[in-house]
Structure 1
Amino acid sequence: MFTNRTDAGEQLATELRRSDFAVDVVLGIPRGGLPIARPVADALGVPLDVVVASKVGAPGNPELAVAAVADDGTTWRNESLVGSLDLTTDYLEDEIEHEQRAAAEKRGRYREGRPPLDLAGRHVLVVDDGLATGATMFACVERVREAGAASVAAAVPVGSPRTVDELRRRVDHLVVLDQPRSFRAVGQFFRDFSQVSDAEAMALLD
């Protein structure tokens, strides 16, 4: 059980200091990933920036992620779920376009005044506050790969064992502190899992 996101970030930072893979930049997934990513970046002595993606929900159930799209259009789809729900191509394309615009708008707010994010040839660590379905993380990892990163690592305090296994196949390195078999939601493993505001998250980038 983590006290809050900052505590989880500090514990994750301690574990990452023991790791033997290179990290040039840490990318937090806003909003909840940034309080985790800040102590990680500080401990590793590397810059902190953001990578943004937005989930595409199922019809009538927006919390059920059938896909996720990053700010540059890089898209991950849950093909088995798309098939089982018999979703139309039109629905997916319309929702992906809508969520890409939302992700690009969020990127603009978070990166205002910053130089373009150049990941080519860099060793990148993507950090979030946990893995449930993993949709957002999967899209962000693919976005970083498409940007030409030399390697892509991921780190989270806690995650669903099934999702962790899938993510492990998609990254070069993965650090997860806890993979409880009783996993239901990320928030159950934090005493304080209060929502992070955009203002609070953006302040962590300074």
Structure 2
Amino acid sequence: MRRYRDRHHGGRVLASALEAYAGRTDVIVLALPRGGVPVGFEVARHLGARLDVFLVRKLGVPGHEELAMGALASGGVRVVDPEVVDGLGLTDAVLDEAARREARELLRRERLYRRGGPPPRIEGQTVILVDDGIATGSSMRAAVAALKSQKPSRLVVGVPTAAPSTCEALARQVDDIVCVDTPEPFMAVGLWYEDFAQTTDEEVLALLEQAARERAEESQVPGGM
């Protein structure tokens, strides 16, 4: 299976696989920060679509935060992984404390990335939800659940790489899913990128601003959007 040079490369490959959604006025690309934003930037640019973010925070097991016991999404939607929670005997109090902590960070990022602006309108839109990859799927499932409540006309998930079983499970929850590569064994998203350095808040802001600027310039060109 291929390894992507970086998230931008992964985004360009994913964009080609989403070609059916190019040039449509009802499409919005929502990237999961932070790592999903470089991917979403390339997808939105290729499709001629608006780029925005949708905030999700992983709920890590105390002392082993890299292991997700669930996730929290914008709007207060919480998804729990029963295998992890039951297997480790985690209590509701542990989940509630993690959710309170991550809710504060989620709100901080909402304010930072949107600069006080409103969230995008979802109802009646074709939403393409993008990340750099999917391992357990907790974050993506939380995002899907939160977005469904806002009544998009079509909900699509797109990632450059994903665990096969997770991709298959998510396919039952959305209208369309594109997992470009599904290596087995999957292990971790970062294994399938040569450069998987952490995306910073500054990079997220710069890409959102660049996407908005390019879209505005395109709309001013005769025959453009």
Whether TM-score is above 0.5 comes out as: yes
1:195 corresponds to which residue?
198
The superposition leaves residues 88-108 of structure 1 with CA deviations (integer Å, 9 ceiling, x where unpaired) of 111111211221221121111
Would you say the 8 A contact 2:32–2:53 is kept in 1? yes
Q: Is the deviation greater in 81-90 or in 151-160?
A: 81-90
1:42 corresponds to which residue?
45
Would you say the 8 A contact 2:21–2:47 is kept in 1? no
1:4 corresponds to which residue?
6
1:126 shift after superposition: 0.4
1:115 shift after superposition: 3.2
List aligned pairs for 1:51-200, cutoff 5 A: 51-200=54-203
Match of 2:16 among 10, 14, 17: 14
CA 1:34 to 1:56, structure 2 compared with 1: closer, same or farther past 3 Å?
same
CA distance in 2, matches of 1:112, 1:165: 36
Length-normalised TM-score, structure 1: 0.94
CA distance in 1, matches of 2:66, 2:188: 12
The superposition leaves residues 64-112 of structure 1 with CA deviations (integer Å, 9 ceiling, x where unpaired) of 1001001321111112221111111111112112212211211111111
- SS in structure 2 opposite 1:191? coil
CA distance in 1, matches of 2:10, 2:59: 27
The superposition leaves residues 100-147 of structure 1 with CA deviations (integer Å, 9 ceiling, x where unpaired) of 221121111111143332211211010000011111111111111122
CA distance in 1, matches of 2:109, 2:21: 31
Q: Is the deviation greater in 54-63 or in 112-121?
A: 112-121
Would you say the 8 A contact 1:138–1:167 is kept in 2? yes
CA distance in 2, matches of 1:66, 1:134: 11
Say which one has the larger Rg: 2
CA distance in 2, matches of 1:85, 1:183: 23
1:14 partner letter: S
Sequence identity of aligned pairs in percent? 37
Q: Is the deviation greater in 123-132 or in 70-79?
A: 70-79
1:19 shift after superposition: 5.9
CA distance in 2, matches of 1:19, 1:70: 25
The superposition leaves residues 43-81 of structure 1 with CA deviations (integer Å, 9 ceiling, x where unpaired) of 111100000010111122111100100132111111222
CA distance in 2, matches of 1:136, 1:202: 21
> Does 2:26 align with 1:32?
no
1:182 shift after superposition: 2.2
